[in-house]
Amino acid sequence: RTEFAVKEIMSSGGAEDDIPQAERKTVTDFCYLLDKSKQLFNGLRDLPQYGQKQWQSYFGRTFDVYTKLWKFQQQHRQVLDNRYGLKRWQIGEIASKIGQLYYHYYLRTSETSYLNEAFSFYSAIRQRSYYSQVNKEDRPELVVKKLRYYARFIVVCLLLNKMDVVKDLVKELSDEIEDYTHRFNTEDQVEWNLVLQEVAAFIEADPVMVLNDDNTIVITSNRLSETGAPLLEQGMIVGQLALADALIIGNCNNQVKFSELTIDMFRMLQALEREPMNLASQMNKPGMQESTEKPARRENPHKYLLYKPTFSQLYTFLAASFKELPANSVLLIYLSATGVFPSGRSDSEGPYDFGGVLTNSNRDIINGDAIHKRNQSYKEMHCLHPGDLYPFTRKPLFIIVDSSNSVAYKNFTNLFGQPLVCLLSPTAYPKALQDQSQRGSLFTLFLNNPLMAFLFVSGLSSMRRGLWEKCQDYLRKINRDIAQLLTHSRSIDQSFLQFFGDEFLRLLLTRFIFCSATMRMHKIFRETRNYPESYPQLPRDETVENPHLQKHILELASILDVRNVFLENTLDDY
């Protein structure tokens, strides 16, 4: 096929016999590499999405071919221009594929540094205007390639918090879509306009703006930094478990999303990652480095991002994670999903009697709903019940449920004596805050960016950078004190302490307690369902209602001049 293509290309460029042998070989080699790269790239779709080992050698081979192809077209650009008729958009396509490879490698490994590599290739396409000539060709499919490139670039920029670049890209994409729909009168106009609306809503999801002195917006990152998690003090007795794998599941109706990420999923995935480093100094391509060359610091936990999964999809990924979990490691399950409540009355109080959270119904079953409606004694089928997670409690399990029926998971039983903790969101928020749910859950915001959540519940929508940084420093002090409260507690369940040795889980636990304490002191959070809960229960007087912690929260409120929002004498109110 390659030979035939080469002859076609060369004969169209003039008399075939006039072409020097070396140049003919250059074109042949290029066509071979291009063909091979496309085959390998298309084959990526057939790799299983779960399981961490099967795909690595295939990815390595694909990277190898693309690296050769990229260098080859750089070295032989002149010959390829003259003899092959290489167009700039074709170079852009190769760069775009390499960007996609790095992005997918990030999704597979959770190593944030690969996002920087994807960003480099996507940026080069824009800076060198590789796609600029596409609009002159009368081929709508080429313009769609360009639009898709923009959408992919935006996703990478969002994940790297490069919001200024995102805004520029959205403006350019908007112009491109307008030009495309004007010229080709296509049916996908509505879809592309929806892409624009989604990304615009995603950018504006944060309820509080941090401003520089010149009123430009400060970009804040919520990944784990060197100073992020409170350090363990000498003598603190905690477990040695490490968070190795996480399932981040998003199935909320009407929540802001872009690509296949809801805003809750986006926030939680960042809470489980370290700040990215630049990879250039460490390695050439993924999948190829020897283990001795790996960065010295601990890696990010591996993640699966599941947007609106069916029950079967969710269970398949869960089983794969469980199977591959190394010794002394923790599996985290984060569920941000619409609550499913029991339909009939039940005399028993078992793990399938309280409902759970929604799983997606399409493709799962054909006629289940019809049977379901006939008989109220059956359990909800499109629902992840607490009992569905029981088999996986044979290994250390850390569960976060953000849902209107999170309390269903309070009725857990630790059957196997392994460390097990569930952090559960409030099931309802005070009326004044309810209209915000589309822009992401308040509970997840507390776990991702506790200061922003605190400002939001205090009624603040913007803040100067200097004050923000002062409050962040104070919040770090609060986190240190919460860590001490937990480790010094005499009555706390040991599961909490067994997870406390891991930096990510330590930060989530301290933020959870800060969130709970804040809500319990807030004047408008007055119902029990407005408060987060946990399984096992935390000793309130030593943690979420500790006077020392309450004093800190009032102090933080004083720095922000919002002390009037909180109850002064909370201890008297219980």
Residue 236: exposure state from Cβ atoms within 10 A (0-12, 13-18, ≥19): middle
Q: Does residue 49 fall inside a structural domain?
A: yes
Q: Does residue 374 fall inside a structural domain?
A: no
d(CA 141, CA 146): 9
Q: Does residue 221 fall inside a structural domain?
A: no
Instruction: Check residue 124 and give its pLDDT.
Output: 95
d(CA 457, CA 519): 9
Domain endpoint, select from 209, 229, 257: 209
Residues 479, 393, single domain; the answer is yes
CATH of residue 543? 3.40.50
Instruction: Check residue 234 and give its pLDDT.
Output: 67
The domain tally of the chain equals: 2
Q: Which of 118, 123, 128 is nearest to 90 (CA)?
A: 128
Residues 473, 523, single domain; the answer is yes
Q: Which residues pair with 336 in a beta bridge?
A: 250, 402
| Whether the bond into 536 is cis, omega within 30 of 0 | yes
d(CA 327, CA 396): 10
Residues 195, 254, single domain; the answer is no
Residues 253, 160, single domain; the answer is no
Structural domain boundaries enclosing 508: 242-277+299-342+350-361+380-565
**For each of the chain's 574 residues, which pLDDT tens digit applies?**
444 445 455 555 444 557 788 889 999 999 999 999 999 999 988 888 887 677 888 899 999 999 999 999 999 999 999 889 999 999 999 999 999 999 999 998 898 889 999 999 999 999 999 998 888 888 888 999 999 999 999 999 999 999 999 999 999 999 999 989 888 877 888 899 999 999 999 998 999 999 998 888 888 888 888 777 777 776 667 788 999 999 999 999 889 999 899 999 999 999 999 987 654 434 344 443 333 344 445 689 999 999 999 999 999 999 999 999 999 999 999 999 999 998 766 667 788 888 899 998 864 444 444 334 445 668 888 999 999 999 999 999 999 999 999 999 998 889 999 999 999 999 999 987 756 788 999 999 999 999 999 999 999 999 999 999 999 999 999 999 999 999 889 899 999 999 999 999 999 999 999 999 999 999 999 999 999 999 999 999 999 999 999 999 999 999 999 999 999 865 444 4
pTM reported for the whole predicted model:
0.90
Instruction: Check residue 329 and give its pLDDT.
Output: 96
Residues 261, 171, single domain; the answer is no
Q: Does residue 92 fall inside a structural domain?
A: yes
* Chain mean position to CA 14: 52
Q: Does residue 166 fall inside a structural domain?
A: yes
In Å, the largest CA–CA distance within the chain is 97
Residues 148, 254, single domain; the answer is no
Q: Does residue 124 fall inside a structural domain?
A: yes
Other Cβ atoms closer than 10 A to 174: 17
CATH of residue 98? 1.25.40
Q: Which helix (H) or strand (E) holds 211?
A: strand 209-211
Domain endpoint, select from 189, 209, 229: 209
Residues, the chain, total?
574
Instruction: Check residue 436 and give its pLDDT.
Output: 78
27 within 8 A of 84, measured Cβ to Cβ: yes
Q: Does residue 428 fall inside a structural domain?
A: yes
Instruction: Check residue 293 and give its pLDDT.
Output: 41
Instruction: Check residue 46 and give its pLDDT.
Output: 86
Residues 418, 337, single domain; the answer is yes
Residues 137, 271, single domain; the answer is no
d(CA 273, CA 252): 23
